[in-house]
Homo-oligomer: A and B are copies of this chain.
Amino acid sequence: MQPAIATPAIAKEFRSRLLTTSLRFKAGQVIFDEGQKATRWYEVVRGTVRTCRFHIDGRRHLTGFYFSGDVFGADYGYYSTAAEAVTDVTVQCYRVGDISQPGQPKPDLSEAVSILFRAMSSAQKYLFIVGHRTALEKLAAFLLCIHNQNNDDPHLLLPMSRADIADFLGLTIHTVSRTFTELAQRGLIKIEGRHSVVITDKTGLCRLAGEMDNFTNPSADGPIHPAAEFCFPKHPNPET
């Protein structure tokens, strides 16, 4: 798992330069719908938000959870997912028009770029979680992700339902439930109610999730271009 994404200083500094609106939604309310024109993006101030799509057969598929400080709705053109409030939430709403309309006076876009970088990191993180093979691995990675977002507090609050977790991890609520109890039986977590879990063996969870524990590669600190630079193709490859 990559380190928790702290709000970059630059974003705080320039926050006032983008026009924002503060909004509140009650638990379960829709913030925007799939297919709507993506005219705004959002930052969670308080509470939890989920993004989801629906298959034609009615099955739901969640593509992300967003907590305080996270960004969602940064889509190009049309929203590819809907966004719903998991709990009562307060969000800050940024207008896309502020950056894409050539005529308008432009605010400092450093903040926008910074926000989008954070959103990218979040999406990458989720891709890694969902890509795991077994239910144990997926749930372990999921819990570690929440853990990191909560400043490594072993007491986790899981505001979402089992169904939400299942639809996010590509499992059923039954498997999610069974896997929770198995993690508890293995002594990795302690379940303290529907929305509360304590991590009792973080190393064990990391091993299950297959993650290097807080590993970064400080030696390779970004040389100009690690490998060869201008190398000409020797044998043809199938490519576009």
Q: Which residues of chain B are near A8, meaning CB under 8 Å? A: 76
Name the residue on B nearest A85 (C-beta): B227
Do A233 and B109 touch across chains, with their CB atoms under 8 A apart?
no
Do B116 and A221 touch across chains, with their CB atoms under 8 A apart?
no
Could you say which of B125, B126, B170, B229 contacts A24, with CB atoms under 8 Å apart?
Answer: B229
Q: Which residues of chain B are near A170, meaning CB under 8 Å? A: 130-133
Contact (A26, B231) CB under 8 Å given A88-B237, A195-B238:
yes
Contact (A5, B59) CB under 8 Å given A220-B33, A231-B25, A240-B68:
no
Contact (A211, B55) CB under 8 Å given A124-B63, A231-B24, A237-B27:
yes
Q: In the complex, what distance in Å separates the CA atom of A150 from the CA atom of B240?
A: 9
Contact (A118, B239) CB under 8 Å given A210-B59, A226-B32:
no
Residues of A within 8 A of B (CB): 2-3, 5, 8, 10, 23-27, 29-40, 46-48, 53, 55-57, 59, 61-64, 67-68, 74-78, 80-81, 87-89, 93, 99-100, 102, 106, 109-110, 112-114, 116-121, 123-128, 130-133, 150, 157-159, 168, 170, 195-196, 207, 210-212, 215-218, 220-222, 225-234, 237-240
